[in-house]
Structure 1
């Protein structure tokens, strides 16, 4: 019935006098200035709707969102990352039904908002940005270590050799923070591409690939190498990637940082801190260059905004998320968020000319499924916690795999085969 009210425009908000106040829960991907522009622009073209934004730091977001979902009250529109983070919380959102195709008609892709990453299945919201992980590097640090800044390491062996050279030069090789779930979303898929096929990644999504499978054990083993071989900062287990790990890179104290192409700390922030001429972008080094997905980009839509089941302003919520998918917001996203827009009608003249941004355009041209967003909440938590424990010598890789399998078996979403 809630879905019917949304799709027919017969929400309770239509009976209200004066402007409708729409409460939006977000972690402000793209930054505060971008969201200020969103509010101004949307309200300017929709005088009957006012936005009341509740911004929560990303690492605190689940703590704030959880009670709203449990009590079935609060925001009218909420954000979640595309993929299983969204699917785990799908009971909080109104399915878009046939409206999904109409709203997203100008988007390059929106499957990360739909169950099974299949747009013919139920979709719960609208994304407007493209997301994924790359390896940023500081050309000045590589030069000081006697390395060629125009030829970053392309293989795992080359990366290991580069890390040893950087360490000898007195710098951290890979800036890293392991507190929180960022390892799941950022680092895991870049290792997994060397061992998993797209069929394997879909099996991971369906909960049909055991964490004791040799492929996944190998992925965990390579993640462990990054810290056990001393390639990352020693305090990685006790700090977050944002802002702490990223700050190490921005200060010029590390050669590499594996972070995202849109939203929070990205190419623009690093370019401002280091200088555009000193910032490089590349793929993570290939462990097996012959692997089918080794040369691909792990791509996924960014945050997905959906209308909550309990909202009494569903029609206003639908208008807002439809606007988010449009050209106007796509151009705001490029100008103020400096991210990768999904809307294909965005004026190309507005795209940045930064060398890092242009290089990212090359990398994203060959996408594959993003293994990180195939992980359920219990798996993402176990991945982050296990990497911390392995780094501290408290856990073996095999025991880590056992913990991951237990987390898989606790996942309600994957138990239901979604």
Structure 2
């Protein structure tokens, strides 16, 4: 157990920290502890400024040193820290297999996990196997998932009803043809990086996969050569090979490049997320709340069990690193992140969906898009995107790029995905 306490840290913090599994000495200091935190600043710089101010005001013996890294650069910055087992005291990763792939970098929370999660809406995305009885490696505070945003003005200019976005795949294709004829991009898209895995793949996959299939993906028992997953890849390919997306999609990232296409008013649709930087609030500011619509992705197979459902998951998970000499302070910080005070900061400044149930409902935005999203999130289902290991997420993006450029067939793409699955150390251990 922890043997030495940080001078001046509250006794309650020591008790909580003792619940972390694993042992290690604390760094002795006569002054405030400086906690190094690696983040991609979900919610934006202003939100994190408020986090630093509020946390330090109530924890005067802890100072936050925030290292902010752009999301698309985050893995290459974090990777050397994980490899060398040194660096920040607290780091972020997305819930699910991205976190599990890097679990060797984090101190398991042990019994503390249940106490932290008791006031949260949770999908167990910070716990191995999405199972709270297994080790959990950090704390989430935001509610995340995918929707399809649309620009009413672009639809209207294309002769479409801006109040009736497409609900089926065929309707979506017809809308894209009309938008293209009017001189605009239909779906703003960027295929570089992990965004296709998290934002596009789940919304196609839900038309073919059951919840058991999705758990099969998590366990590594569902082959990418299975006709269901091949069908998913075929429909992803259709988006670009039919010309529904911007031509430069293979060479750009969704954030910021793809999102910028939508925010400039040059695209009818953008498939992104409900919280963080590319949500309803950012788009509403760019094109006007009155011009912004939000809907579910169109259904390919309307009778599929998960069609027209919402992919729900926790957002970024913050964990204490195994090598940190300041585990007590780190635990205090991530516990505070999950609390009501930060939940309300997240709503007020990040304009995101909080996980904490005790957040004052009067603070929730009145935006029509936000209110519409509340209807979608009420009955969430498993998020298949976070079931993808790092090798699979990379192969999904790379394969989609190659298929779009005519360099690869869908069949070969499926083979590459299967090879990526077989390279995944996380899923091999899960078999």
Q: Does the TM-score normalized on the shorter chain lie above 0.5?
A: yes
Matched, 1:168 2:184: no
Deviations 1:217-267 (A, max 9, x none): 000000000000000000000111011100000010000000010012110
2:69 to 33, 44, 56: 56
For 2:341 and 2:74, the matched residues in 1 are separated by: 27
- Aligned residue number for residue 214 of structure 1: 227
Contact 2:219-2:430 within 8 A present in 1 as well: yes
1:111 alignment partner, SS class: coil
Contact 2:17-2:332 within 8 A present in 1 as well: no
2:200 alignment partner, SS class: helix
For 2:153 and 2:232, the matched residues in 1 are separated by: 31
- Aligned residue number for residue 100 of structure 1: 113
- Structure 2 CA distance for partners of 1:5 and 1:343, relative to 1, 3 Å: closer
For 2:266 and 2:71, the matched residues in 1 are separated by: 25
Deviates more, 1:397-406 or 1:102-111: 102-111
- Match runs of 1:246-395 below 5 Å: 246-395=259-408
Matched, 1:412 2:428: no
Q: CA deviation at 1:7?
A: 2.5
Deviations 1:301-346 (A, max 9, x none): 0000000000000000000000000000000000000000000000
- Structure 2 CA distance for partners of 1:2 and 1:242, relative to 1, 3 Å: farther
For 1:264 and 1:412, the matched residues in 2 are separated by: 31
Aligned pairs, number: 418
Deviations 1:189-219 (A, max 9, x none): 0000000000000000000000000000000
1:159 to 172, 176, 187: 172
- Aligned residue number for residue 8 of structure 2: none
Deviations 1:106-135 (A, max 9, x none): 101150000111111110000000101100
- Aligned residue number for residue 111 of structure 1: 124
- Structure 2 CA distance for partners of 1:14 and 1:73, relative to 1, 3 Å: closer
C-alpha root-mean-square deviation of aligned residues, in Å? 1.5
Give unpaired runs (5+ residues) of structure 1: none
1:83 to 91, 96, 99: 96
Matched, 1:180 2:193: yes
- Aligned residue number for residue 230 of structure 1: 243
1:7 to 18, 28, 48: 18
Deviations 1:70-123 (A, max 9, x none): 111000000000000000000100000110011121101150000111111110
For 1:13 and 1:272, the matched residues in 2 are separated by: 45
Contact 1:7-1:96 within 8 A present in 2 as well: no
Contact 1:11-1:313 within 8 A present in 2 as well: no
Q: CA deviation at 1:407?
A: 0.2
2:125 alignment partner, SS class: helix
For 2:113 and 2:328, the matched residues in 1 are separated by: 14
Q: CA deviation at 1:8?
A: 4.8
Contact 1:126-1:324 within 8 A present in 2 as well: yes
Contact 1:110-1:119 within 8 A present in 2 as well: no
Q: CA deviation at 1:2?
A: 7.8
1:79 alignment partner, SS class: strand
- Structure 2 CA distance for partners of 1:208 and 1:170, relative to 1, 3 Å: same
For 2:278 and 2:18, the matched residues in 1 are separated by: 36
For 1:151 and 1:117, the matched residues in 2 are separated by: 36
For 2:373 and 2:24, the matched residues in 1 are separated by: 42
1:265 alignment partner, SS class: coil
Give unpaired runs (5+ residues) of structure 2: 4-14
2:170 alignment partner, SS class: helix
Q: CA deviation at 1:17?
A: 1.2
